[in-house]
Structure 1
Amino acid sequence: MIEQKLADSLNWTLLHVLIVIYEEGSVSAAANRLNITQSAVSQSLKKLEEKIESQLVIRNTKPLKLTPIGHYCLQVAQTIFTEITSIEAMKGSNSHLLEGEIKLLVASRIHNPKYNDFLVYFKKKYPNITLDLIVKSSKEILNDIKQKNPAIGICLGRHTPEILNQKLLFEQRFYLYCGYHHPLFSASNLSLNDLLQEDFIALVSEEIGDVLSPITLFKEANGLTGRVSAYTNNLDEAVRLIYTGYGIGALPDQFIAATYLESKLRRLPPKEGVADIPVHIFWHKHRMLSLIEAKFIEEIVEFDIAVNDPSKNE
């Protein structure tokens, strides 16, 4: 309540005066820059110190020096006024003025042409925004976001914690595949019945309750009871194992289109695929977003990323 009382009663103009005093190095120079009297600058500084109940500036030094609490107030003031100057850019007409860094936690191997298009669009519209991308598993990303870490997550999420906001971006369709060195690669007239006893390559997140559990539910519902010959938490390794004939496995179709082994993998029945796995953008409900984070979320949600998969209508 004490902190809120200060925030409610503090005149933000006083913080601006503190910034100018520090940048100009003296009260007189600050007065010239602000086009007001030295007395007015001194009174503003005094009012700010009274509000903070601490001395902010060490007098009689050239240039003026700040006390430790003065430096902290300066940092707060600079943050506030950086955000204020971004308001005009938020309108869209001056998007090039927005600058800063956005930390993105992204699940590996997310492939979607429209997602790539969005990144192209965002870079052109906001050339001064830096993206700091860190690749993690979906489970790690959700855990990090839950801890109110200053980041935005783009990942799979089956059971979203209540403390997180989420928006659906697109869905990844998973199909069953075999590889060049598997007997089914050259077989003809395959049906789902031909897969019933085949060994499987499984991703760790296919466990019941995890993000890819719909794949396991599909296999159980359709009697695909072959043993799991290998587990992995990495899509690239899953592709390698499928290609080398260790078993068949479920892979996202758009990811396959982007891999160099596409011609060495064969899509298996059923024609409609196994499951649609949604990809969401996540952020914490109770963490205040920066302006550029809010703009990124607004833009990616409004951008038409969802791709209509023609195979759904076959």
Structure 2
Amino acid sequence: MSPPRRRFVWEIDWNLLRTFMVIVQEKGLTAAGEKLSLKQPTVSNALKRLETHMGARLIERNASYFAVTPAGQRLFDDCLVMFDIVSGLPQQMEEHPGDVTGHVEIALASHVVCPLFDEVLASFHKALPHVTISMTVMSSQEVMAAVIGRDASFGVCLMQERMAKLDYEVLYRESFGYFCGPRHRLFGQSRLALADLRHEPYVSFKTDQMSGALWPVAHLRQQEGFEGATVGTSSHLEEVKRLIIAGFGFGPLPVHVVDEDVRAGRLWRLPPYQDAPGVDVHLVFDRAARLSRAERILLADLRQAIAAMPIAARTYP
């Protein structure tokens, strides 16, 4: 592109072209001003500026005469083409979603096991293969802080305390059971009652408190009067499970997450065997955050999937 043409492209006010197109369509400056909600002098000034840029007379007019010049007609025809191209851009983007690029940063609490979440991620990657994703595991409190600080596009975590700046939707509900490891004296025993656990050493999560995200678990422990000392805590599920398997004590774990460990003989299920405490795991996001197109699409896909599936189908086990 030659320097004069390059300068023209960068200096032209594209709104002048739209104004000119409306002038021709409405066959007058006054009518064009009404259409554009602009005063007639403003429209007249826009026409003069465009004619200066183009170096040609575009419209011949006086109090009783209005005509588009040959140069003006050629420009008007080109404006129609440009307008068609611009108006079709949203549809073009929808028709070629694979062209979307970008990066999505997700913050998660430890060991999120949710088939719905996995299915949405798989569908998202198939539709938008050029988008990259990073996942960082942290405590639920850190997840919410990361979303607020825009260090994460959105998060998946337990909700300890609702933060006004964030939006929450239940992604899934999981049941917590009590488990012990092979070194525990109750391992392998059946027909146990909650009373058998009352004085046993206890391992749990740092949020296993009446004011924490695992308050249903804490409520059961308080209700049954468990008196055993708490000998180990962690914010991460894998570390709580490690301490339980190592024999430090018994503790709560999501039933569906450790099902394979039970089958492999690494863990043993303790009472209660039914009506286990249920805990909600939330999709956490900031509705006011300025997200990229890739971030908006994945978040919308997740919310749509949540809305389409009843909570009973998102309750494990």
Structure 2 matches for 1:147-226, cutoff 5 A? 147-149=149-151, 151-226=153-228
The aligned counterpart of 1:299 is 301
- Contact 2:202-2:232 within 8 A present in 1 as well: yes
The aligned counterpart of 1:21 is none
Q: Give the distance between the partners of 1:172 and 1:184, measured in 2 at CA.
A: 24
Q: TM-score, normalised by structure 2?
A: 0.67
SS in 1 for 2:207: helix
Taking only aligned residues, the RMSD between alpha carbons, in angstroms, comes to 3.0
After TM superposition, give the deviation of residue 114 of structure 1 in Å.
2.7
Match of 2:127 among 107, 111, 125: 125
Structure 2 matches for 1:223-262, cutoff 5 A? 223-257=225-259, 262=264
Q: Give the distance between the partners of 1:85 and 1:149, measured in 2 at CA.
A: 34
Q: Which has the larger radius of gyration?
A: 2
Structure 2 matches for 1:46-195, cutoff 5 A? 87-88=90-91, 91=94, 93-149=95-151, 151-195=153-197
Structure 1 ranges of 4+ moved more than 6 A? none
- Contact 2:256-2:316 within 8 A present in 1 as well: no
- Contact 1:172-1:276 within 8 A present in 2 as well: yes
Q: Give the distance between the partners of 1:178 and 1:242, measured in 2 at CA.
A: 6
SS in 2 for 1:160: coil
Q: Give the distance between the partners of 2:10 and 2:243, measured in 1 at CA.
A: 71
Q: TM-score, normalised by structure 1?
A: 0.68
After TM superposition, give the deviation of residue 286 of structure 1 in Å.
2.7
The aligned counterpart of 1:266 is 268
Q: Residues 151 and 128 of structure 1: is their aligned pair in 2 closer, same or farther, counting only changes over 3 Å?
A: same
- Contact 2:262-2:269 within 8 A present in 1 as well: no
After TM superposition, give the deviation of residue 144 of structure 1 in Å.
2.3
SS in 2 for 1:183: coil
- Contact 1:89-1:96 within 8 A present in 2 as well: no
Q: Give the distance between the partners of 1:241 and 1:252, measured in 2 at CA.
A: 15
SS in 1 for 2:187: helix
The aligned counterpart of 2:13 is 44
- Contact 2:106-2:152 within 8 A present in 1 as well: no
The range that moved more, 175-184 or 228-237, is 228-237
Task: Provide structure 1 residue ranges, at least 5 long, that are not aligned to the other structure.
Answer: 1-23, 31-37, 48-83
After TM superposition, give the deviation of residue 310 of structure 1 in Å.
7.5
After TM superposition, give the deviation of residue 250 of structure 1 in Å.
0.2
Q: Percent identity?
A: 23
- Contact 2:109-2:236 within 8 A present in 1 as well: no
Q: Give the distance between the partners of 2:4 and 2:227, measured in 1 at CA.
A: 80
Q: Residues 41 and 184 of structure 1: is their aligned pair in 2 closer, same or farther, counting only changes over 3 Å?
A: closer
Task: Provide structure 2 residue ranges, at least 5 long, that are not aligned to the other structure.
Answer: 17-86
- Contact 2:206-2:234 within 8 A present in 1 as well: yes
The aligned counterpart of 2:288 is 286
CA deviation vs aligned residue, 1:264-284 (integer Å, no higher than 9, x gap): 211111122532221112122
Q: Residues 310 and 149 of structure 1: is their aligned pair in 2 closer, same or farther, counting only changes over 3 Å?
A: closer
- Contact 1:207-1:213 within 8 A present in 2 as well: yes
After TM superposition, give the deviation of residue 115 of structure 1 in Å.
2.1
After TM superposition, give the deviation of residue 97 of structure 1 in Å.
2.1
- Contact 2:105-2:151 within 8 A present in 1 as well: no
- Residue type of the alignment partner of 1:210: G
Q: Residues 270 and 87 of structure 1: is their aligned pair in 2 closer, same or farther, counting only changes over 3 Å?
A: farther
